[in-house]
Each structure stands twice: as structure tokens, then as C-alpha cells.
Homo-oligomer: A and B are copies of this chain.
């Protein structure tokens, strides 16, 4: 994929009209890329890595490990997402980050990001906007875990992923390719993998979705949204120009 049509460009471009200069800067920023195998840890919690990773292809996850061997996935990352943005100003990363599938990432020194705020305020704001949006997603995730039942949370997570993938052109009208296994869903939703299995079965039996062979099909978006009490406004945030 040419960088001029990268997922990040597509994402930011949907909220500010990128000038030729800004587009070139964005392309330049993403020019240093690297392939990473699946299931590889890229950043470990506590590590001091002053870099931002822009995911170009593949899926990844941000997570924290617990003393008892458990794991909490904070967010799944799909193409166009920036990783480590939050840690730019902190000395160490507050979470780990690993690929789920084989992936292609661009590596951007933190300093290139921070200098944007001064040199390219519009672009800096757009990135900050994307970061704010990510955080809104994390907050919604928190609600998901704290106050929703397993089946509601699962439905909500699926709808969220669907919308985010649509934004970067990786969804189809009926669903999306989904590399997540039941264990990954479990770690994201604070459930056991076994209960994820039963929950997926319920969703299937209700005719809402099917997940098999890494393909997630949404049969009845309407009822799914109803079940999840899904309100996409937290993602449907237009850019408020400075």
C-alpha cells in the first residue's frame, strides 16, 4: 500500500482536509517501517521507549499483565492506529503492546510527534484528536467491563471494532475479518475463554452474529445494537477546528 493512501492518512484525512505539505509530512513520518511477526511483544510495560508506532497492516493489542498470570487487554489496534502516543510524555510506557497477526508498523521517534505541535499545529491537533478518540474508546471499554453483562459487552465490542474498521476501509457490509481468538476476547472483556465461547454461541443462536474461520459476520446489526445499547456517538466525533 502506498503511504499516500495509508490508513492513518485516511483516518486523519476524514477529519481535516490535509494540505499537500501536511500530506507530505505525514508520509515522511511513516517512512521508516518494519515487519513484525504475529504474537510478538513490541513494547513491555515499564520499558522506556520514546517511540510511537503507527500500525499499517495487521492487528495488535495493548494490555497489562497481572501478578497472578492474568491479562487485561486495554484495546485492540487496527491499521491506522497509533501506539504509544500516551507514553510520549511519560518516561516509561504504562502498558505492553504486542502484535496479534503479522504486522507492518511505522516507527516514529517521539520527538517528531512533539515537534509537530509547534511546527504543524493543525496536524498536531489532528493527532491529538485521534488520541482523544482512542481514549473515549478506552472509557467506553471501561463501562463495558464494569456495568454490562457478558453478552452485552461482547456485542458492544464487536460493534466498536466494526465501526473502527469501516473508518479505514477494512470492513464489508456484512462484517469483517477478525483474527481474534476466544482467549483474546476473554482478556479484553474480563471473562474466561470458556464463557466467551458460550457467549458467542448465544449470539449465534439469537441470529445476531457468527464467528468462524476468522470471519465475523453480522446478521442483524439492528438487534445487535439494541442488545449492546450501542451508541456510536463516542466514535462519531467530528473534528472541532481550532
A94 interfacial by beta-carbon distance below 8 Å: yes
A225 interfacial by beta-carbon distance below 8 Å: no
Dominant secondary structure at the A interface: helix
Across the interface, do A139 and B138 meet the contact criterion of CB distance under 8 Å? yes
Number of interface residues of A (CB under 8 A): 52
What is the copy number of this chain in the assembly?
A: 2
Report the bound CA distance from A238 to B139 in whole Å.
24
A4 interfacial by beta-carbon distance below 8 Å: no
Enumerate chain A interface residues (CB-CB to B < 8 A): 46, 50, 64, 66-67, 70-72, 74, 86-92, 94-95, 111, 114-115, 117-118, 121, 124-125, 128-129, 132-133, 135-136, 138-143, 145-148, 189-190, 229, 233-234, 237-240, 242
Ordered by A's residue number, 14 sampled pairs between the chains whose C-beta atoms are within 8 Å are A50-B240, A64-B139, A66-B148, A87-B132, A89-B128, A89-B132, A91-B237, A92-B233, A94-B237, A117-B118, A117-B124, A138-B142, A145-B145, A147-B190
